[in-house]
Amino acid sequence: MTTPSSGDPGDGTPDEVRPAQESVRPEPATADDGPAAPAPRRKQRGDLLAAALIGVLALLLGFAFAVQVRTTDDGQALAGAREEDLVRILDDLTGREDRLRQQIAEQRSALAQLGSSDSQAEAALAEARERSQALGILNGTLPAQGPGLEMTIRDPMDRVPAAVLLDAIQELRGAGAETMQIDDVRVGVSTAVTGSPGDLALDGQPVEAPYVFQVIGSPQDMATAMNIPNGVVDKVRLRDGTVDLVQSDLVVVDALRQLDMPQYAEPADGD
């Protein structure tokens, strides 16, 4: 409301002001003639007085200028502002407040999104870590401990063949063994038992009797699985060997195995 109406006086006044501007300039000329007339002594006193007056006026101007600048800085200026100015200022502030509130709402929702995605990422990371630990234990790349069974197969006559050891491994797995090692060789999913009786090898590493199994899993289940008729214990006895089963609360499987890197298989796309 102020802008269009303030333009009118701005356009209108220059006509009225130009005469005033011209009247300022001619005045010195006429005034120059005026003071020239009086006696030199009075002129000197007048000059002094004028200089003093000019000094005072300049001082006043500087003072008012500084005070006004300070007042504008303070925001005290609002106290003396006109009603329409105040209304305009209020409108401005209201609009600004609306915009800021909108911004706050946007930022809040962005923050909420970031927070939720952050917690999602954290959960996913924790899950991935757990999964990698589980896989590491299954694959034999991480040491493991827990309740389980210590089984010692003695083979004084060197008659226990690879098939019996393999049988033992399969039976233990079937009874819930989670991971195991035999004579400091970790058993993984692809472990092979090779060689002739008395000269066996696990994954190419030679093992010698007595074969010491350290297995993590349910001790009772695994002991039962070993002792079933025609099971591992019976088969070893047939070949003049003995089997010792010790159930333990804490079995440590600390032999490690290299991770099998698949040579041909790749992860399939999609879930």
For residue 110, state whether it binds other proteins (rule: CB under 8 A).
no
E strands present in the chain: 144-154, 179-182, 185-187, 193-196, 199-202, 205-206, 211-216, 242-253
For residue 262, state whether it binds other proteins (rule: CB under 8 A).
no
E strands present in 23-143: none
For residue 117, state whether it binds other proteins (rule: CB under 8 A).
no
In the complex with other proteins, the residue whose CB is nearer, 38 or 115, is: 38
Helices and strands, counts by H and E, the chain: 8, 8
Three-state secondary structure call for residue 84: helix
Query: Least CB distance from residue 22 to other proteins, whole Å?
Result: 11
In the complex with other proteins, the residue whose CB is nearer, 34 or 270, is: 34
Report which DSSP code applies to 271.
Answer: -
Write out the H or E segment, with its range, that includes residue 172: helix 162-174
Query: Least CB distance from residue 60 to other proteins, whole Å?
Result: 6
Query: Least CB distance from residue 119 to other proteins, whole Å?
Result: 54
For residue 87, state whether it binds other proteins (rule: CB under 8 A).
no
CA 58 from chain center: how many Å?
A: 63
Query: Least CB distance from residue 123 to other proteins, whole Å?
Result: 60
Instruction: Say how far apart CA 42 and CA 29 lie, in whole Å.
Output: 20
For residue 61, state whether it binds other proteins (rule: CB under 8 A).
yes
For residue 123, state whether it binds other proteins (rule: CB under 8 A).
no
Q: Which residues bind other proteins (CB under 8 A)?
A: 2, 5-6, 8-10, 12-14, 17, 21, 24-25, 27-29, 31-32, 34-35, 46-47, 50-68, 70-72, 76-77, 79-82, 84-85
